Each structure stands twice: as C-alpha cells, then as structure tokens.
Amino acid sequence: MAKRVLLFTYLILSLSSVAIAQKAQRIGYIDMEYILENIPEYTEAQAKINVKANTWQNTIDKQKEEIENLKTELNNEKPLLTKELIEEKEEDIQIKELELKKLQAAYFGANGDLFFLRQQLVQPIQDLVYNSVQDIATKRRYDFILDKSSDLIMLYSNKQYDVSDIVIKEITRAKKVNALNEKQNKVKNTLVEDDDNETVVNEKAQQKLDEREARKAELQKRIEEQKAEKLKKREELRKAIEEKRQQRIKQIEEAKKAKEEKKENN
C-alpha cells in the first residue's frame, strides 16, 4: 500500500513539473502576409516592382515572338534557299536566342535587376517587421513567435496567441516616434551626414546600373557587328551565285548559237 502511495505521489509530482515547464513557455505567432498587406510602404513598393517586372517581361515576350517569326519564315523559305543561306539564317536565330537568355538573366536572374530592386524597396520593410517582432518577444517574454504564412504547417492556431495586430501597432508607433525624433533632432551636421550617406548609397546604386547598361551596350554593339559581317558575307555569297548563274546562261546561249551556226553551215 505504501509503495502504491509513493508511486502515485511520484507520478503527480512528475506531471506537475511537466505542466509547470509547459506553462512557463510563452508561444505566439504572426501572419507575415497579413502584416505586410497592412503596411502602406510595402504595398507601394510591391506595386512599383510589379510595374517594372511587367515591363521587362513584355520586352522578353516581344523578343520571343520575333525569334518564333524568324523560325517560321526560315521553314517556309527553306526549299528556295541554298545550304549556305539556311546556315546563315539559323546562326542569326541562335544569336538572338543567346541574346534573349542573357536578357532574361539580367532582368530575373539571381543577381538581376528584379533582385536588386526588391532589395532596395522591400528589404528595409521586412527588416522593420523582424525588429518589431523581436521587440515584442522581448517585452512580452515570448519564448517562440512563429510565422503562420511560412512553410511551417500549423494545423490549429488559437486567435488569442496571434500577435500580428500588435506587430502592426508597434510598427506604426515606431514610425511615429521616428518621425517625431527626426523633427526634434534636426541638427545641421546630422542632416549633412544623412545626405552624404544617402548620396553614397545612390551613387553605388547608380554605378551598378551604369555598369549593367554599359555591358548591355557592349553586347548590343558586338551583336550589331556580327550582323553587319554576316550581311556582308551573305551579299557576297548572293553576288557569287548570281555571277555563276549569269555565266551558266551565257554558256548555254553560246552553245546554242554555235549549234545553230553549225546547222546552217551544213
């Protein structure tokens, strides 16, 4: 009997310890998509990104259509072209396809314009959200704050543990405080330093854009030079073919004339 009492007491104490340990942990969660949708700066940034992305995609689609048209034109003309001319046209198409791939990488590649633009516009807003989450976790003593909109699978979530609205309020409050501090701390040296820092950032960004444009211009120049050289060779080839044709016609006419003269003499 005594052993049973001791065992029961041990079980109660063990369960109590687990319950206390579980109660000590505070877990909350956020919905990152919901938070970002309620930040005006994020919506504006996303709209700018979408406009740029659509413009770049339209440029790519036009080049794709041009390549497809060239392929269709070549297939229709093949029976009328010499082997040399067919190879020339096929090479032109390959050059345009290579140019298209490079353009796609420049716009949407790992280090393309879209990635660079997203870093400029969206990254600061995401950092603001992460900083606010960390502040809330520290002030309210949360052990874990999960993201409901991430790849993490949450089969059930109690709304009372959702701190998304608290994060939005924290961000709004932080922006107001920062705006007030900027007005109160308008010191000339600080403004000059801020302007210098902003100028450096803008200069670096502009330098990267200028370098990218210079590379595009160089690529375009090489492509145009290749086209010009190919056109020259193509014209020379056509001229040679035409000369051969004229010589053949002349030979046929001379042979015909000689035959007629021989017939008259006989």
Q: Which residue has the tokens 């310890």?
A: 17
Residue 240 tokens, joined: 């040679």
Q: Are the beta carbons of 4 and 120 closer than 8 angstroms?
A: no
Nearest to 230, CA basis, from 88, 83, 39:
88
Rounded distance between C-alpha atoms, residue 145 and residue 28, angstroms: 5
Side-chain half-sphere exposure of 69, counting CA atoms within 13 A: 6
3-state secondary structure string across 109-133: CCCCHHHHHHHHHCHHHHHHHHHHH
Asked whether residue 68 carries a pLDDT value surpassing 90, the answer given is yes
Cβ contact 30:167 at 8 Å: yes
Percentage above 70 pLDDT, the chain: 81
Name the band, by pLDDT with cuts 50, 70 and 90, for residue 7. very low
Confidence (pLDDT) at 19 = 45
The answer to which of 22-31, 90-99, 109-118, 212-221 has the lowest mean pLDDT is 22-31
Residue 266 carries which side chain, given as an amino acid letter?
A: N
3-state secondary structure of 142: coil
Domain ranges of the chain: 27-185, 194-266
Continuous segment of H or E residues that includes residue 146: strand 144-147
What local confidence, expressed as pLDDT, does residue 2 receive?
A: 46
Between 182 and 32, whose confidence is greater?
32
What's the CA gap between 2 and 75, in Å, rounded? 97
Alpha-carbon distances of 189 from 85, 193, 199, 202, rounded to whole Å: 69, 6, 15, 20
Q: CA-to-CA distance for 249 and 251, rounded, in angstroms?
A: 5
Whole-number Å distance between alpha carbons of 66 and 74: 12
Going from the C-alpha of 265 to that of each of 255, 258, 259, the distances in angstroms are: 15, 11, 10
Mean pLDDT is highest, among 37-46, 53-62, 195-204, 212-221, for: 53-62
pTM (predicted TM-score): 0.52
